[in-house]
Amino acid sequence: MAPRPEPHAFSLAELAERTGAAVEGDGAVVVARVATLGHGGPGDIAFLANPRYRAQLATTRASAVIVAPDAVAATSLPKLVSKNPYAVYARVASILHPPAAVVPGVHRTAFVDASARVAASASIGPFAVVGARAIVGERCVLGAHVVVGDDATIGDDGVVEAHVTLYPRCVVGPRSLIHSGAVIGADGFGLADENGRWHKIPQIGRVVIGADVEIGANTTIDRGAIDDTVVEDGVKLDNQIQIGHNCVIGAHTAVAGCVGIAGSTHIGRGCRIGGAAMISGHLEIADGTVISAATQVYDSIGERGTYTSAFPALPHREWKHVASQTRRLRELADRVKMLEHALEAARTGDGAKGRLP
């Protein structure tokens, strides 16, 4: 992707109008860059989203800040005020630091099959390959060494960074962004066991990615075995995620790095999945579910809520002790059950109800 241009400058009043935030103080103050509270300087706008940095409002050198209503009194600087300052910061950053305009054209080292349909407004980078009957939409950007397989489609305004591979027949919706090294549509792990030997099952489905999706670097999404693997509109996938064949990721779900999702699992809409979570195959995860980092999910989740299974960090010696006790929980449960039976027998006078081992 082309480098970002020099930042644009806007007054605080103009930014408020474009983001829906309120202005407190001098709305004529002009800013050109976003910055952190600790490193902001003249011409910068900083933001407070995490309360632990509140004290920095008093020392920041930024020209303006973005804050929630409860932090207005903590600084005399001109400010944008919103109940969701982090979202306003995101919008301001997009305004001040827009992506470079697409420069149309096909690099002389790229290969575009004669049967492919590439919009005249698209940009095809060095050594990119666009296969037979592939479609590349208006204003798309393909980075260096991108491979777009036969019959694959990339919708308008799609950005595919360097070294991405989009396998044949896969579909990427408009305005989606795929970061470097991602592989979309490799074969799913479909194998049949016969007398200790594995037979490969042809993977004949596709990967279908919706609009406004972002896929992180080195993330892999397997094509479906028969039906398609589907990533719905607005999904955000971090780096180094593995999504197995025939999965469905519901609209506007966000998945953090290093998550593994086994095949044929259906993740609901608006879910949030923490880093390194592992989700088994053939499960259903309810809309709006939050799964904490490193959580292991072995069963379907039918009711939205927050689910956690990771054990908090402990000093190693203490962890070994807890692990040792955890291994004895089944034995302990059996002994508690026998004690309960013995107590009940003593209460009723029925000595046959239970005896301690």
Which helix or strand (DSSP H or E) is residue 330 part of?
Answer: helix 329-348
Pairwise CA distance, residues 164 & 128, whole Å: 10
- Kindly state whether residue 343 falls inside one of the protein's structural domains: yes
Mean pLDDT (whole number) for 193-219: 97
pLDDT tens for residues 85-119?
999 999 999 999 998 889 999 999 999 999 999 99
Closest to 217 (Cα-Cα) out of 178, 250, 173: 178
- Kindly state whether residue 151 falls inside one of the protein's structural domains: yes
- Kindly state whether residue 3 falls inside one of the protein's structural domains: no
- pLDDT above 50 for 27: yes
Higher pLDDT, 215 or 3: 215
Q: Are residues 157 and 29 in the same domain?
A: no
> What is the b/e burial string over 109-142, where b = at least 16 CB atoms within 10 angstroms of the residue's CB?
ebebeeebebeebbbbbebbbbbebbbbbebbbb
Q: Are residues 80 and 187 in the same domain?
A: no
Phi and psi, residue 87, nearest 5°: -65, -40
- pLDDT above 70 for 281: yes
Q: Are residues 257 and 344 in the same domain?
A: no
| DSSP code at position 305 | S
Structure tokens at 220: 């892999």
Q: Are residues 91 and 125 in the same domain?
A: no
- Kindly state whether residue 4 falls inside one of the protein's structural domains: no
Look up the domain containing 325 and give its range.
Answer: 316-353
- Kindly state whether residue 210 falls inside one of the protein's structural domains: yes
Mean pLDDT of the chain: 94
Residue 29: pLDDT band by 50, 70, 90 thresholds?
Answer: very high
Return the pLDDT at 312: 84
Structure tokens at 202: 């042809």
Q: Are residues 275 and 222 in the same domain?
A: yes
CATH code: domain of residue 232: 2.160.10.10
Nearest 5°: CA angle at 157, between 154 and 161? 70
Give the total number of structural domains in the chain: 3
- Kindly state whether residue 5 falls inside one of the protein's structural domains: no
Q: 1 has which bridge partners?
A: none
Which range is least confidently modeled, 73-87, 228-242, 286-300, 339-353? Answer: 339-353
- pLDDT above 80 for 142: yes
* Interacting residues of 195 by C-beta distance below 8 A, sequence separation 6+: none
Phi and psi, residue 97, nearest 5°: -130, 65
Q: Are residues 168 and 210 in the same domain?
A: yes
Residue 3: pLDDT band by 50, 70, 90 thresholds?
Answer: very low
Q: Are residues 122 and 89 in the same domain?
A: no
Q: Are residues 197 and 334 in the same domain?
A: no
Mean pLDDT (whole number) for 265-269: 98
Q: Are residues 114 and 138 in the same domain?
A: yes
Return the pLDDT at 350: 67
- Kindly state whether residue 1 falls inside one of the protein's structural domains: no
Nearest 5°: CA angle at 172, between 204 and 96? 160
Active site residue 163: no
Pairwise CA distance, residues 268 & 250, whole Å: 5
Pairwise CA distance, residues 88 & 82, whole Å: 7
Mean pLDDT (whole number) for 180-191: 97
Pairwise CA distance, residues 263 & 243, whole Å: 7
Which range is least confidently modeled, 231-235, 262-266, 310-314? Answer: 310-314
Q: Are residues 137 and 56 in the same domain?
A: no
Q: Are residues 85 and 229 in the same domain?
A: no
Percent of the chain topping pLDDT 90: 88
Domain's final residue, options 62, 96, 130? 96
Residue 2: pLDDT band by 50, 70, 90 thresholds?
Answer: very low
Pairwise CA distance, residues 356 & 354, whole Å: 7
- pLDDT above 70 for 7: no
pLDDT tens for residues 294-307?
999 999 999 999 99
Domain's final residue, options 61, 96, 131? 96
* Interacting residues of 254 by C-beta distance below 8 A, sequence separation 6+: 235, 236, 237, 271, 272, 273
Pairwise CA distance, residues 51 & 282, whole Å: 40
Q: Which of 145, 163, 179, 245 is catalytic?
A: 245
CATH code: domain of residue 20: 3.40.1390.10
Q: Are residues 83 and 219 in the same domain?
A: no
